[in-house]
Amino acid sequence: MSAALQAAPTLLRGPAASRLLTAAGINPRQYWLLVDLFSQLTERRDVLSQLGRDGIALKTVALLYAAFVGLFGLLMVAAQPSLTSYFTGFLFITVFILLSILLAETGNSLVNPVEALVLAHQPVNGATYSAAKLSHLLRIVFLLVPAINAAPAMLGLALNDSSWSYPLVHLLAGLAAGALTALFCCALFGWLLRFAPPGRLKAAGQIAEIAPWVGVILYRDLREFFAQWNVSGLLPEEAPARWGALAAAGFIAAAIVFLGLRSLSADFLVRASGIVRGGPVRRPRSRRLWFGKAIARRFGGQAARAGFEYAAIMMVRDWQFRRQMLPAMIALVGPAILAVRDFAASPFSDRFTIMHVLPHLLGVVGFWTCMLLPYGGDYKGIWLFLLAPGQALGRFAAGVYALLWLSFALIPNAVVLAIFPWYWGLPEAALFAAYSVAVSSLYLGLELRLIDGVPFGKQPLSSRTPFMMPVLIAGVLVIGIAIALQYILLFRAPAVLAAVSVLLGGAAWFATRSSLKAFEASIRYNLGLAIAESGDLYQEVDL
């Protein structure tokens, strides 16, 4: 096994592989130079890390998915479904997981190509650069697909209609589906490069990344919509004609993928400058003077206003933060749909409503935001904060907290208080809004400790994402217990709910004070590390 692993690089860089790359329009020598360059830059953290180039993170993700999918496979085998349903279900799971990962990885590689500006004046064609930049996708496919399908393939032997060859067929089909998914993701961004303006490509890439999740959330609505069209009735009834129509559809799909790949490799380096710089610079919108004065007066002066404005602008402009916030934004789609369908139901009635989840949902979104806030695409600009006076850092942290509190505690519940008195009555709406503000403020007061250092001052790391899955699962279980307890004990006794709201508000005040001090200390500590790192650039030479 070790001998085969040692011989693999020699075979991949040998004459046969070089001829294959040349036939695809890729310069073999430049390709391997770029692959080695990107690997070295990622290892030195000079470019944003990627899952396919981080071996530890990728192996951790593979083990997590293998455990979860294997457990699901045991449950499926216990239900004894048909072999076709079993095989199709796990093929769909494989494609969906790879789509959610590969779309993000392809977008991270192509729509923020800072290193491409250095190579734009070099004689490197677009096909060579694109192939080298996206080679890590194959590593994701060939590691994740066996991890996802190994246990289900072996468990499939316990089904009634299975045969001894089923595990091999299952794994080969999974690898084929994974390779086609990777090609589809690359072709999709090729079409985006062709038709989307360079300044709008980042936004288009983010829309493409959230499409699979939105499709899952809206699956029932989409199925009802397409059921009205009776697509099966449009197909011919004769078997040969039906197979011919399916073959034609497959040929058209293959042509679309091929043309997308051609578009991706054609002129990517030419557009790299426009992609990195984004759209035209707009003049900042004038903000009302009273709003800025209110932030400064309430949270600590102009330094607090600076923290508020800095975080508000960077949340919108930082591409890395925006794309990593997509899962939290998608999580709001389902509850929003349920809230619209069950708009007038009061949480104080005997039935369970989506409004019981609202305070905790705001806490989950705040958790995700605070977890991602230290990381950004322009992390090397942290040296600017070294010019700020040290006594202003605490008020700066208070300004960042002001933005988060307004976004995840005050404004959503103010909307509730403005709308729902028409349906529930003013006393119930006011009591619910007070309780929700207290709960979401307590969540945020505790979650401030997740902000390690200056916001947007660290490089995003792909290695930390896999380890958040157990934390999120545990958090969901704890929140589920809290929701059940509040539904049973609190909302059926308004007086008890009012007393608990006061207690939670006091706890939130003390937690916020403590967390703000910890936030300030983390900013000072990380700025001290930045000073130490900058000192390493200069070495004393003994002559």
pLDDT in tens, 452-503: 888 988 877 655 555 555 566 667 777 778 888 888 888 888 888 889 889 9
In this prediction, residue 512 has a pLDDT band, given cuts at 50, 70 and 90, of very high
Residue of 204, 25, 253 lying closest to 130 (CA atoms): 25
Lowest mean pLDDT among 218-222, 420-424, 537-541: 537-541
pLDDT of 194 higher than 70: yes
Identify any residues that bridge with 335 across adjacent strands, giving them in sequence order: none
First and final C-alpha spacing in the chain: 51
Q: How far apart are CA 234 and CA 537, in angstroms?
A: 68
Please give the DSSP secondary-structure letter assigned to residue 342.
T
Residue type at position 38 = F
Q: How far apart are CA 358 and CA 337, in angstroms?
A: 13
Q: Are 447 and 363 in contact (CB under 8 A)?
A: yes
Phi and psi at residue 125, to the nearest 5°: -75, 160
pLDDT in tens, 18-33: 777 777 777 778 778 8
Angstrom distances, CA of residue 288 to CA of 294, 304, 315, 405: 10, 16, 20, 20
Identify any residues that bridge with 458 across adjacent strands, giving them in sequence order: 375
Phi and psi at residue 188, to the nearest 5°: -60, -45
In this prediction, residue 336 has a pLDDT band, given cuts at 50, 70 and 90, of low
Q: Are 54 and 101 in contact (CB under 8 A)?
A: no
Q: Record the tokens describing residue 309, joined without a space.
A: 């404005």
Residue 84: per-residue pLDDT: 85
In this prediction, residue 51 has a pLDDT band, given cuts at 50, 70 and 90, of low
Q: How far apart are CA 59 and CA 147, in angstroms?
A: 9
pLDDT of 543 higher than 50: no
Q: How many CB atoms lie within 10 A of CB 170?
A: 24
Residue 173 exposed, middle or buried by CB count within 10 Å (0-12, 13-18, 19+): middle
Identify any residues that bridge with 375 across adjacent strands, giving them in sequence order: 458
Q: How far apart are CA 357 and CA 224, in angstroms?
A: 27
Phi and psi at residue 159, to the nearest 5°: -80, 160
Q: How far apart are CA 463 and CA 50, in angstroms?
A: 9
Q: How far apart are CA 482 and CA 357, in angstroms?
A: 10
pLDDT in tens, 351-384: 777 788 888 888 888 888 888 888 887 777 777 8
Q: Is the dihedral of CA 319, 323, 328, 329 positive or negative?
A: positive
What is the overall mean pLDDT for the chain?
Answer: 76
Residue of 187, 40, 505, 312 lying closest to 195 (CA atoms): 187
Alpha helices in 196-218 (DSSP H): 201-217
Q: How far apart are CA 98 and CA 348, in angstroms?
A: 43
Residue type at position 17 = A
Residue of 224, 279, 24, 218 lying closest to 128 (CA atoms): 24
pLDDT in tens, 142-185: 888 888 888 888 888 888 877 888 889 889 988 888 888 888 88
Alpha helices in 267-332 (DSSP H): 268-277, 289-299, 302-317, 319-324, 326-331
Q: Record the tokens describing residue 360, joined without a space.
A: 């905790």
Q: How far apart are CA 365 and CA 437, in angstroms?
A: 14
Q: How far apart are CA 537 and CA 532, in angstroms?
A: 9
pLDDT in tens, 254-308: 777 777 777 776 656 666 556 655 555 555 454 545 566 777 777 778 888 888 8
Q: How far apart are CA 318 and CA 272, in angstroms?
A: 18
Residue 226: per-residue pLDDT: 64
Lowest mean pLDDT among 37-41, 51-55, 60-64: 51-55
Angstrom distances, CA of residue 24 to CA of 19, 40, 184: 9, 25, 17
Q: What is the DSSP string of 137-160?
A: HHHHHHHHHHHHHHHHHHHGGGST
Q: How far apart are CA 479 and CA 496, in angstroms?
A: 20
The SS3 assignment for 538 reads coil
Residue of 340, 330, 380, 335 lying closest to 360 (CA atoms): 335
